[in-house]
A and B are shown apart, each in its own frame.
Chain A
Amino acid sequence: MNGESFLFTVFALATCSGAIAVVFSQTVVRMAFWLVISLGSTAALFFLAKADFVGAAQLLIYVGGTLVLLVFGVMLTASGPYLKIATSPGEIVMGSCVGLLFLVVVYASLNGVDWREPAISLEASNPVVATGNTLRPIGLSLLGSRPDQDLTGDGETLSPGYLLPFEIVSVHLLVVLIGAAYLARAKRRAVGSG
């Protein structure tokens, strides 16, 4: 077992056990803690898959931003620090049985497909991803040019980049955050006045 496999096993176990612990935790604060473990280990898996920028973005945005937002939500909506809205044991057993069956179905179906068939060879076809130095290519692709495909191809047809989705998603994020701030504020003012 080489180092990559060892690290992958460790972080995959941390990811899966964190996710399972999220399902079986009863208090929402513990769920948030296990979610931090699971998402952080997912970021480590991204680093192992040589997606360094995505891993960094996962750590910064997900673990640093979205989860802090969720913890604030827990804080603002809980009447006590260990608020327990219990799920009945029968529902938990039923849910885990259905989940286990679903996992078996998903795993059997993804094992039945030969994913490598259309791929020629990764190392030859895409040297950018193989090196793992993805910061500059991702930035350039978000600006609309694709050096990883255009420089290795025939040079006649230019691959489309992601400038338009990037702009759309940035405006979308702005609109959504303004709307969320408005939604969260308006009701409180109504409660305060009425």
Chain B
Amino acid sequence: MTADLNSYLFVGAVLFVCGVVCMATKRNGIGVLMGVELVLNGANVNFVAFSRYTDLGLDGQVFSLFVIVLAAAEAAVALAIALNFYNNHLTIDVDRANKLKG
């Protein structure tokens, strides 16, 4: 496997798909959060790869920095929501969050 653009994109695609599957199959709320982190990391790999191997230049790296910062913010808010959910339901199973179900 040589280090070219398509290899980096493949790694990003694997991270993205793993994150999506993780979000879809995990029943633990924290596990769903980890899936979101994987998806954002796949996007970051793509940004950095395009910054290195096309003429996107520095913009890709700056964008991935913004993605990292926003992922930190997202993790903080989602963890606060998860803690609230745990305080109310005494579990973190997302299947139990069905109060709004019609």
Contacts and interface: CB of A to CB of B under 8 A. Distances in A.
Interface of A: 1, 4-5, 7-9, 12, 15-16, 19-20, 22-23, 28, 31-32, 35, 38-39, 42, 45-46, 48-51, 53-54, 57-58, 61-62, 65-66, 69-70, 72-74, 76-79, 83, 85-87, 91-92, 95-96, 98-99, 102-103, 106-107, 110-111, 115-116, 118-120, 122, 125-126, 128-129, 134, 137-138, 141-142, 146, 148-149, 162, 165, 169, 172-173, 176-177, 179-181, 183-184, 187-188, 191
A22 B79 contact: no
Contacts, number: 249
Given A77-B29, A85-B92, A69 B79 contact: yes
Nearest to B18: A19
Looking at chain A's contact residues, the main secondary structure is helix
Nearest to B10: A107
A187 B84 contact: yes
Contacts of B93: 85
A172 B26 contact: no
A94 to B, nearest CB: 8
B interface SS class? helix
